[in-house]
Chains A and B, each alone.
Chain A
Amino acid sequence: MRRLLALWEKEYLALSRDVLGLAVLFLMPAAFIVVMSLALSDVFKGGAGRGTEFAVIATDGKFAKQLSERLAGDGFRPTSEPDKRGVLHATKPALTLIVPPGFEHALDTPPGKTDSAPALTLIADPVLPPMQLLAFKQRVLGVVLALRVSAMMRQAGIAVSADALDLKHAATLKVETIGNSGRPSSVQQNVPAWLIFGMFFVVMPISSLFVVERREGTLARLVSLRVPFSMLLLGKVGPYFVVNLMQAVLMLLAGRTLVPWFGGETLVFPARWDLLAAVTACTSFAAIGWGLLVAVCSRTLEQATVIGGVGNILAAAVGGIMVPRFVMPEAMQKLSEVSPMAWALDAFHAVILRGGGAADIAAPCAKLLALAAALFAAALWVHYRRRVLTSAQ
């Protein structure tokens, strides 16, 4: 045990003096959390919830204003100064509805009396998400239908106010989701996602120091002192486990304080801290296991950097860290199930997002622990298979 403590102390001292390594482990995920939480905040609000400006252009200014007022809401905002007819300047407004002459009069004509009202034209910014465009089209059709019905009722002698036929007043629709929310908000997605990404980056300092130890003969000296190789590997587990726990605490605090300070939403802490700690621990073991395998397999710092870095980025891309899985096509969602980062994200979401219990995190945590054990065993196997510790010839 004394030797294990000495190994842990050595690893701690080495890491504490590696400024770049610490920056990668702590500043990188914190920066990603803030930047991505803010950058993607609209995306996570859902299709119609995003702030989108629109303009209505009609020959009758009063009618244009009336339409604008009815179309506004759920994130769609009318611009105060519409662009010239038919011309969409830059990307503002993202949507321009052009009402042809005679359209208002056609609304007063009962259906079937004329072939149809003159066509409305909607000019959309090409970068507007399809769901956004669809939502606005539905709003336009709803408003036009309300105007038609209003006109028909007026012709029938039934007095009805325009507001009564507004879609907003058609019915009260309450959406209920499982747990706190069905889909994560931006901060709920990005805090655990980039925390996991940062945790797996322990692969860099673990493998770098290990390669240096082998290259400089330190590892050979330790083996000559009859230090078991399994103990050398365990000597890396303790310090990096603590590092991962510190990352978790700091990144959650970043979601709680830093993101709202920059104008984003605040991360709501889960009620079950014990489950959060369990998920963090399981993720940490998997990340450290990955680091140990890369360390043992890499012969040079370049190899360690490429294998560790690219492996992490691929696992993050596939596992829903960089792009949320719910926006992926079905095939990619299935593929993402092979990424350990996806297992970790599932477990974190079960605790943070859905307020789940132990049963909800059991499966992903079991997978993470099994992976950690397999990676540790693989590191030992690779080492013993090579049999040769030094480059001595």
Chain B
Amino acid sequence: MGTLNLEALSFRYPGGGDAALEDVTLAIPAGRVFGLLGPNGAGKTTLISILAGQLRGATGRISADGETLEALRRRRPHTLGLVPQEYAFYPMLTCAENLRFFGAMQGLAGTRLKERIAAAAAFARIENVLSRRAGRLSGGLKRRLNLAIGLLGEPEILLLDEPTVGVDPQSRAFLLESIRSLAAADRTILYTSHYMEEVEAICDHVAIIDHGRVLVSGELSEVTRDDSGLQELFMRLTHRSLRD
């Protein structure tokens, strides 16, 4: 998978006022973790939702390997994996049942499904809790199950929307390490977070957006050259006023 290119992407919610995204142009390279930063309401989740195919009606172009993402996904339906910020699984099902269900929804079956469940569970280190109800897991285990589900189809593009919210430092360290290792396998990873230290720790490229516009984009070392760190750059660009 080559670079994921977003060209002049714009989106407005039906009945909404201002554009949620306006003229967003980004190049998200493969084999790296791309950090997408922005205050609440900046448009991060909207951008991820458009890439994941949940929102329709965006203008502009999204492409990879010379073809549009839509065409690519039609050809290879499970090119893209999503790990949303919510616990997007069924709390009343066990971890194994959740993995089996979401695996089946990606067209996996039989031995292949079993292999992928075992691999994803091992990667997220949830093998020991597979028989437990997902709703009864700790916050850290829930996040790991969420990640495992996103990896079932071995996606080439992985969208991670604040995947470490509400977890303890140990689980966070494990998740960050895991995400870093995923990029090494030549995946294209888009990572959103409010935690600057996380982004500085695992991302090679970053973009800061606010009010649906890209304020800065590039390699982490380049964009922070004139500032003492990502936090200072972020505050300088997005200002200190409180957001909703």
A390 at the interface (CB under 8 A from B): yes
Residue B169, interface by CB 8 Å = no
Contact-size category for A: 20 to 34
Contact B107 A18 (CB under 8 A): no
Contact indicator per residue, chain A 215-244, by CB within 8 Å of chain B (1) or not (0): 111101111111100000000000000000
Is B90 at the interface (CB under 8 A from chain A)? yes
B123 contacts chain A at the CB level, 8 A cutoff: no
A224 contacts B107, C-beta separation under 8 Å: no
**Which residues on B sit within 8 Å (CB–CB) of A218?**
88-90
Q: Does the CB pair A388–B55 fall under 8 Å?
A: yes
B78–A13 touching, CB < 8 Å:
no
B129 at the interface (CB under 8 A from A): no
Closest to B81 in A: A224
A310 within 8 A of B: no
| Contact residues of A between 366 and 393, Cβ < 8 Å to B | 386-390, 392-393
B-facing residues in A156-188 (Cβ within 8 Å): none
Q: How far is the CA of A183 from the CA of B10 in the complex (A)?
A: 66
Residues of chain A lying within 8 A (CB to CB) of residue B105: 3, 6-7, 222, 225, 227
B70–chain A nearest beta-carbon distance, Å = 10
Smallest beta-carbon distance A80→chain B, Å: 61
**Which stretch of B96-104, B179-187, B196-204 is in the interface?**
B96-104
**Could you tell me if B55 and A2 are in contact, using CB atoms closer than 8 angstroms?**
no
Is A83 located at the chain interface by the 8 A CB criterion? no
Number of A-B contacts (CB under 8 A): 96
Interface centre among A5, A225, A389 (most CB of B within 10 A): A225
Chain A, residues 1-43, CB within 8 Å of chain B (1/0): the string is 0110111011001100110000000000000000000000000
Cβ–Cβ < 8 Å partners of B49 in chain A: 220, 389-390, 392
Q: Is there a chain A Cβ closer than 8 Å to B13's Cβ?
A: yes
Provide the bound-state CA to CA distance between A257 and B52, in Å.
54
Q: Known contacts A6-B105, A217-B84, A393-B41: does B97 contact A13 (CB below 8 Å)? A: yes
Residues of B50-82 contacting chain A, CB below 8 A: 52-57, 73, 77-78, 80, 82
CB distance from B133 to the nearest CB of A (A): 8
**B101 and A217 contacting across the interface, CB-CB below 8 Å:** no
Residues of A within 8 A of B (CB): 2-3, 5-7, 9-10, 13-14, 17-18, 215-218, 220-227, 386-390, 392-393
7 A-B pairs within 8 Å (CB atoms) are namely A216-B89, A217-B86, A217-B88, A220-B82, A388-B55, A389-B49, A390-B55
Extra pairs beyond A13-B97, A390-B45 (6, CB < 8 Å): A10-B93, A221-B149, A227-B105, A392-B55, A393-B13, A393-B46
- Chain B residues close to A by CB (< 8 Å): 13-14, 20, 41, 45-46, 48-49, 52-57, 73, 77-78, 80, 82, 84-93, 97, 100-102, 104-107, 109, 149, 153
